[in-house]
Amino acid sequence: MYKLGIDIGGTKINIGLLSEDNSIAFKHMTKVPEYKSADLIITYLKETLDSFLAENGISYGQIETCGIGIPGTVSKDGKIALKTPNLGWENEAVAEKFQNLTGLPTRLIQDSRAAAWGEYKAGGGQGKQIVVCITLGTGIGTGIVINGEIFDGALNGAGEIGHIPVVQGGRSCGCGKKGCLENYTAGPGLEMSAKEAYGQDATPGDLFERAKNKEKKAVQIINDAICMLGNGIVAIINLLSPDCLLFSGGLSSQREMLIEPLVKYIREHCYNLSAGLYIGMAHFGADAPLVGAALVPNIAKRRSVKMSASIMCADMLNLSRDIAELKKAGIDYLHFDIMDGHFVPNLMLSMDIISEIRGSTDIPFDIHLMTQSPEDIIPRLKLQKGDIVSVHCESTPHVHRALTMIKDAGADAALALNPSTPIEFVREVLADIKMVLLMTVDPGYSGQKLVAQSFEKIARLRKFLDEQGYEDIAIEVDGNCSFENVPKMHLAGADIFVLGSSSLFRPGNTILENANYLRALL
């Protein structure tokens, strides 16, 4: 499995896949389109990613997570691009939109913080206590990692060194202020200085070349930039006392003319470096934000998908044929609804039928007890290792006893929740269950419409389980698991799907064709 990292800069987009050892396995760079609309760039990203993956023979199913680094402020949950001056974005739901297009769990991170995190986890900052990574590019950003945590600050604005005011009433900045550091020391700032000095055709490259040839005006411009930037970095070092300072970004390639004199300036002006401060180039160079984005913490990994075939929807007159085809289709479970006509207003599947099916297949059973007093039913199920049995919390005052009986019989225990049952009901039995069965229709009949709040409830349940430290508890969804709904349910956090007449047994195609189509959608 790979981790996808995307670094959206002011002028370039860097896309890469990290292998299991956190090395870059595949990489592609492209220009940022002239249009700056978030929606258009997200669409462009998807199209570029499609081509990139196809060229390298990688499928979306081989990617666990996606992190996107952006040059601006990101919401605490990593979903919203709050303010991205160089792109003109404000309050854009970039992560959600990209996730909806690709199906990949996606989180945003400010690009400089991504660079620092990537270096801390896999590069030059490994084993260090406080890592500061300065990104020199279209903007000037600072990522800070303290004791293994990305430092965002209480106001979520930590590290915005590029927006330190250095010139009173100076050049206008994309942040809305004037005289910001990056408007004199970042790429566009140096370009403005070059144009002011040498005309509209001048570039930062011309500036460095002229300075290299000892032209006084160019030397002065670059020296001024070094002093401004150096003062900002010295302030950070004096304030935080880090043990690691790294440089990344496109401008960091100017080693002789920019980085070396900058390091010299820093060492000469810092308050106290006696304890030792490592200063160097980022191990990943300009790829550091990409690596850090791919490794961004708190992304829920793409969860495996399992299919549970609802025997209620099979052809009862040709059941052995359907079960054989389910086996051929690679179905993970056979789902049995056991109803008593009291807990739900329907009757389905006797113990004798389930026992007969048990003797004809090795596919594990997924048994849903929609009965009062499930403790009376459990001993009659002839359970095996790999089976799952779900009981409703409303069906017995002794839920823990029922779950224990299931586990003692060698199967995995699960708690079932009706559409109106609060997710918090699972709290007291978290240590006893392997799965939560979430009903997205009122139980008892097939072919019902999805309850409106189901997707949101799946997401809330997944978040609740993860926050309680039970990431391994699976979520099964039962009710209108159609071709349209299953991808959305999976994106919300569901793992196992009870498939019936709206997907796996949908008329017009074979079971195998429907199963393969659903896998392709996912």
Distance CA 228, CA 267 (A): 15
Strands 244-248 and 278-281: parallel
Using CA atoms, how far residue 372 sits from 133, 340, 405, in Å, is 61, 7, 15
Q: What is the largest CA-CA distance in the chain?
A: 95
Which residue type, as a one-letter code, is found at position 83?
A: K
Candidates 483, 450, 504; CA nearest to 315 is 504
- Determine whether 340 is an active site residue: no
Distance CA 336, CA 340 (A): 13
Which residue type, as a one-letter code, is found at position 311?
A: I
Whats the size of the chain, residue-wise? Answer: 522
Distance CA 68, CA 45 (A): 11
Q: Which residues neighbour 176 within 8 Å (Cβ) at sequence distance 6 or greater?
A: 85
Burial 75-113 (b: 16+ CB within 10 A, else e): eeebbbbbbbbbbebeebbbbebbbbbbbbbbbbbbbbb
Tell me which of 322, 340, 478, 495 is the catalytic residue: 478
The first and second tokens of residue 447, run together, are: 């072919």
Confirm if 506 and 517 have CB atoms less than 8 A apart.
no
Within a 13 Å sphere around the CA of 206, how many CA atoms are in the beta-carbon half?
14
Strands 412-417 and 81-84: unpaired
- Determine whether 478 is an active site residue: yes
Confirm if 358 and 349 have CB atoms less than 8 A apart.
no
Residue 417's DSSP bridge partners are 438
Q: Where are the beta strands (DSSP E) in 75-178?
A: 81-84, 89-92, 106-110, 130-136, 140-146, 149-150
Distance CA 74, CA 204 (A): 29
Tell me which of 111, 322, 332, 337 is the catalytic residue: 337
Confirm if 411 and 449 have CB atoms less than 8 A apart.
no
Strands lying side by side in the sheet with 63-70: 24-31, 12-18, 2-8, 63-70, 106-110
Catalytic residues: 337, 478
